[in-house]
Structure 1
Amino acid sequence: MSLRLLPPVKTVPLLWERPEPAHLHGSVPLRRAAIAQAAVSLADKKGLGAVSLRTVAAALKVDSKRLRGFVYSKKELHELMADAVYREMVAAGPYQGDWRQILRDVAHRFRRAAHKHLWFTDLVGPRMSMVPHALVYVEASLAALGEEPGFKGSGNAMRALQNVSAYAAGAIQGESAEVRYERRFGKDWTELRDTVGPYYQRMLESGRFPRTVREVESPTETSLDAVFEQGLELMLDGIAARLPR
C-alpha cells in the first residue's frame, strides 16, 4: 500500500511580518497606523460590532479593496486595534516604586485603557497578547519587576504579571457592562436598581436570600473604584504570601 503525500499547507505571512504596500500615485496616502486609528475611533463611538473592512474603508474614504492590501481580514483589523491600545499603555512611561506599586500600575493602566475603549476587553486573548506593543508592554513590566526582591530569575515575575492581568481583565469585564449601560441609556446601576426596587425588595424580604440580605445591608464601599482596589490588594497579598523570604 502506498502512502499519498499531502500537499504542503500554504501559510499566509503574519500581518506584522508583511511590508506595507507602496503608496499608489494619485491615491489617498494610507498606512496601517491610520487604519488602526480609524478602526479604534469607530469602535469607541459605535462598538466593536460596527468595525469591519468596509466600514473602516468608508471612514478613511478609500476603496475596501485597497484596504485589503494592508489587512486581509477582520481578525487582522482587530490585531491592529489591540496593538494601538497596548501602544497607549506603553506610552504611559516606565514603572516606578516597589513590586506592589508596579503591579498596581499594571492593573490601573489596563483599567484606564479598557474604560477609554470599552471594546478592548472583548479582544483580550492569546493572539492579541502577541501583537508587537503587547510584547513591549510585557517586557517593560517584567524588566521593572525583575529587579525586585523575590522576583529576579525565579519565574515569579511572569506569574505575578499574568495573575494581576487576569484579575484586571475579569474585573473590568463587569465594569464595562455597567459603563456601557450607562452610556447607552443615560443611567447607572443605581437608577436601574431603583426602577426595579419594589420587586427587588419583595424578593429580599421573602426570607429566601438571608446571606444576600446581610451583604446588601453591610456598610461596605461598593463604588467601582473601591471594589477594584479591594480585589487588587487581595491579589497582591496573595502574591506576597508566595514570595521567598
Structure 2
Amino acid sequence: MNVWDRPEPPARPVPLDRARIVAAAVALADEGGLEAVSLRKVAARLGAGPMRLYGYIATKQDLFDLMLDEVQAEILPEERPGDWREALRVLAHRTRQTALRHTWLADLLGGRPTLGPNGLAVTEARLAALDGLADVDTVLRAVETVSAYCTGAIRREIADLRAERATGRSERDWQRASGPHVTRMLETGRFPALARVVHDAAHVDADTSFTTGLDWVLDAVAARLARPPE
C-alpha cells in the first residue's frame, strides 16, 4: 500500500503522527544530510521508541518519499503566471531556492516521480503551463527537458557547496590552489579550447549561471513550440 494511503494508527501516550515524524526527519536532514536520517534517530528526537514509527512508516524509503513531498510544497507559487515561459521559470527558480534551503533535496531530485499531493501538484503545474500549446507528447518532452536542466544545474551547485563546506575552501581558494597545475597543463598546448575559457571567459555567480542556462533551455522549448505540427 502506498505510504499516503496507509491509515495512521491510533494515538498513544507520546503523541505521534506522520506530520511530526516528517518534520523531525526534515530537521535532521537539514542539519546533517540524508545520512543523518534514520527511523531510530527520528524516534529519539521525538522522544518515542523506534518501533512506534513503524506503525506510521514502513521503510526508510517511505520516509524519504514523505520528506521529499513535504519540501516540494515550498516549490509551488501562490499564483501561477499566465505566460507558460514565466510559469516554468518561476517553478525552476523556486525548485533551486528550495534545494538551497534543503541541500539534501539534490540527492532525491530526478529519481522516480513522487506520488504525494505536493509532488503531484508540482508535476501538474509544470504540465499545465504548456497544456494546449502543443500535443501531449511535445508538452511532456518539454517539461522533461526543463526539469533535467534544473536537476543537473542544482546538483552541480550543491556539490560545489558541499565541497566548500567539507574543505573550508571557497571556489576562489580552490582556483588559486589549483592554478599552478592548470597553468602547467595549459602550457602544453594540448587544451586550446580550455585555455581560451580559462583566460577569456567571464566569471559569473551561481544565480547568473542558472538563470542564463534556464533561459537558453526555455528558448529551445519556445522554438519547438513554434514549429508547425509534423
TM-score (norm 2): 0.91
Q: Output the CA distance in 2 between the equivalents of 1:94 and 1:29.
A: 35
2:189 equivalent among 207, 211, 215: 207
* 1:241 maps onto 2:223 in alignment: yes
CA distance in 2, matches of 1:38, 1:212: 46
RMSD, aligned CA:
1.8
CA contact (8 A) 2:74 2:94 kept: no
Match in the other structure for 1:107? 92
Partner of 1:8: none
Stretches of structure 1 that go unaligned for 5 or more consecutive residues are 1-12
Which residue of structure 2 lines up, in the alignment, with residue 138 of structure 1? Answer: 123
* Distance (Å, rounded) in 2 between the aligned partners of 1:119 and 1:106: 19
Q: What is the percent sequence identity of the aligned residues?
A: 44
Q: 2:9 aligns with which of 1, 21, 27?
A: 21
Q: Choose from 218, 222, 225 the match for 2:200.
A: 218
Using the TM superposition, name which of 180-189 and 225-234 deviates more.
180-189
**Counterparts of 1:128 and 1:139, CA distance in 2:** 12
What whole-Å deviation, never above 9, does each CA across 1:193-229 have from its counterpart, x for those lacking one? 1122222222222222111001112242432122212
The question of 1:186 aligning with 2:168 is answered: yes
The letter for the 2-side match of 1:98 is D
Matched, 1:73 2:59: yes
Residue number among 198, 210, 214 corresponding to 1:232 in the alignment? 214
Q: Report what 2:44 is aligned to.
A: 58
Q: Which amino acid aligns with 2:5?
A: E
Q: Is the 8 A contact 1:82 1:128 kept in 2?
A: no
CA distance in 1, matches of 2:98, 2:27: 14
Q: Which amino acid aligns with 1:82?
A: L
Correspondences of 1:120-131 after superposition (within 5 Å)? 120-131=105-116
**Partner-residue secondary structure (3-state), 1:89:** coil
Kept in 1, the 8 Å contact 2:110–2:148? The answer is: no
Provide Cα deviations, 1:167-215, integer angstroms capped at 9, x if missing partner: 1001111101111122333332111111222222222222221110011
CA contact (8 A) 1:115 1:176 kept: yes
Q: Structure 2: which amino acid aligns with 1:41?
A: A
Q: Report the Cα offset of residue 88 of structure 1.
A: 1.7
Aligned length: 227
Higher CA-based Rg: 1
Runs of at least 5 residues in structure 2 that lack an aligned partner in the other structure: none
Tell me the secondary structure at the aligned position of residue 75 of structure 2: helix
Tell me the TM-score normalised to structure 1 length. 0.85
SS of aligned partner of 2:9: coil
Cα distance per residue 1:111-132 (max 9 Å; x no partner) = 1111111111211245343232
8 Å CA contact retained: 1:28, 1:62: yes
